[in-house]
Structure 1
Amino acid sequence: MASREPGTLIVGAGQASVSLAAALRDAGHDGPVTIVGEERLPPYERPPLSKGYLAGHRDEASLVIRSREWLAERGVALLTDERVTALDRDEMGGVATTASGQRLDFARLVLATGAAARTLPVPGADLEDVLAIRTLVDADRLAAALRADGPLVVIGGGFLGLEVAAVAREIGREVTVVEVTDRLLARAVSPALSDFFRAAHERRGVRVLLGASVVRILGVDGHVAGVELQGGDVLRASTVVVSIGSAPRVELAAHLGLALDGGVVVDEFALGSDRVTVAVGDCACVPQFFGRGLPGLVRPESVQHATDHGRSAAATLLGQPTAYRAVPWFWSDQGDLRLQIVGLVAGADHTVVRGDPGTEAFSLLHYRDGLLVAAECVGSAADHLVVKRGLEKGLTIEPGAAADTGVPLKRLLSPPAQGSADR
């Protein structure tokens, strides 16, 4: 059956969806708002799945961002265990069809379809003990597998892979991380930070193999027995975790004919190429939104981005478009190590080390053309907060003074020299 009054339909139930719906209500919008999600839970936090939840420090209830009751009190309808399979729309609105046959009329459409874990295209990747981590179901399967015996091989040296490796080591598993590139976290952090995390994980007993390509996962009676690398070496394994990045879920956007380029292409107001469909969060590619970053499209994957992008998209839907310019930030807990990043490291041409990496509490401050563009902080929450607030205000820190830990970083914040421009 069709909904009685067309309103705002949000396809996908995650952080961006909740942020957008809440922003609509906070702004006084009283029209119908419906969120449709494929999983059984209301929108929940994903970052803890590979950290606190996997380690047993968080429970399912604590992951929920906003409860069904909270949404209902604000007049937001939530459909769970339901998948939108088709969309038909024009400039005035349209109708969504779900897998169960429901038809949902809408006046405004938001795609918040997120991303899916990339699969490993090698023989044996379908064995029972080859796991990924993207959803709560994935995390539950992995948590049970980690508490079994035998060696664990993590394929992929990105944030999720290293977070899983850290949890596995803390509970006593033998862990090997296999990364096809020449450094860990290569797509996200500076080479200096990559080197630090490799050494830190190795100190904690993780074996790290760089420049190693997996060609086959070996099995016996349907279960994992090993991982074969290019060149013939075989790693013993009873569990394999594949963590090689994510792919944006763009099937519905493609059906609508929206422009795609590593995600759903949107402008600074979260509008797709048809100028009426909004796309937010992990599925969307946005114009580089931080004034000092390099130009081009980016697809950030963080709670901060999903939250801020959802609010920006709500303003667009309300007819009050405001260009998205949030300063990006991100964190990763890897065992007892906490990494906090603010700004964009890509394109930096100079780095200042503040503190001693050997103490596992330090910051890397990154500059381009003399302006502070990013900071990578390990065990240095105060530095992270100072740089975040500084970048939000358009301030910088003189590179020659930044390394002096005897001076609080907040005292060093200053406006860029006259004539400098955000790049």
Structure 2
Amino acid sequence: MGRPTTCTVATMLLLFLSIHSGFSGPVSAAKESWGYVDVREGAHMFWWLYYANSPDNSYTELPLVMWLQGGPGGSGTGFGNFEEIGPLDRELDERETTWIQAASVLFVDNPVGTGFSYTDSPDALTKDVAAVAADMLVLLKEFFSQKAEFQSIPFYIFSESYGGKMAAAISLELTKAISSGAVKCNLAGVALGDSWISPLDSVLTWGPYLYSTSLLDDAGLAEVGNAAEAVKRAVSDGEFEKATALWSILENVVEQNTNGVNFYNILGQESDDDDSVKSSLKEGYLSVLAKRHVRPLNSETLGQLMNGKIRKKLGIIPQNVTWGGQAEEVFASMSGDFMKSVTDIVDELLVAGVNVTVYNGQLDLIVDTIGQEIWVKSLRWPEIQSFSKMKWTALDDPESPGVTGGFYKTHKNFAFYWILKAGHMIPSDQGPMALRMMQMITQQE
């Protein structure tokens, strides 16, 4: 199937939607553009750009931010856009904390098979972050060629969850491509949000974190610790598929001992009437993991929006492509990559002088802050000891002056943000704080 043509429009959610789709929400004055790039034979990646919409600055005076979702299999054009930082929320109401008021935002459905991105056959799905990075370089080369006005604008890659693992690998390869002249852009930094950078450091700290927050008793702590040690042994032996299977078992142990704690925000709980994960325990471990970590990013309500009004708006989605239709296949295809660390890539980025930011939500379990701090302290970057000795600085909650909303510290080209009262999806939980953090990282504060 040939690549659909790129579409550009000058208004948000075209009047077409108002007339033909029953859309009655606000129509913004923002400019947007979208399209497909054939990154390989049989592999088609979808992107969606919102130009910055600021009353004080032209988009050429503001940075460009690319947002990468997690999963793998979570859609940036869907979840990141309508649930977190885009101009409209899932109800198509204007979002007060949208990032397009301070930056142009590029959503990419990545890896191929995610969201509206698709492959012609399962064989074209990626299996590791190296392949993910190679595909993204093709897309970015095409994007910056088409949109030459963005070549000199500071370009930041922001990410969440597994998106951070991919963002690290993409940033390193992009740095090399820029140096060789293969891609023309101004990479200004990468931000790794609640990112699956060192999976083992995450799972080994689940027990202590849950215990410290009174969500495990002594017996539960022991059970979770034993299950985590089994994952560690598999990783040490280089048996990464086995480690992924044991990770699934560990998550079941956590749920059983916490009465269903929500992995994305420990103040929440899995719904008793949601049997999507419980009923799948008879299935393979990949199915269990996909239902737990991909389905929340591809909810039925969001799917109805994306496959309904948004699909009609975009006008270029092939008839045989369903938003999120290949999500679980994407997840399964990457299974051998799940438990591999990419801390060495973060080290390379720092040594190369790339600005790297780590940010994490206080209430996140799947990528708990304790685990993040452990791998950060283990970096071989020569400046890490100086960074570790620094004290953090408090940040006021933008909506409640005088109330602490987070902490941060920065040294040379590395920064860490601790966001309070937020889980895994920081922009969803603490939108004003997330917006302020983005502005600080992109040097607008």
Structure with larger Rg: 1
TM-score, normalised with respect to structure 1: 0.25
Q: Which protein has the bigger strand share?
A: 1
> TM-score normalized by structure 2?
0.24
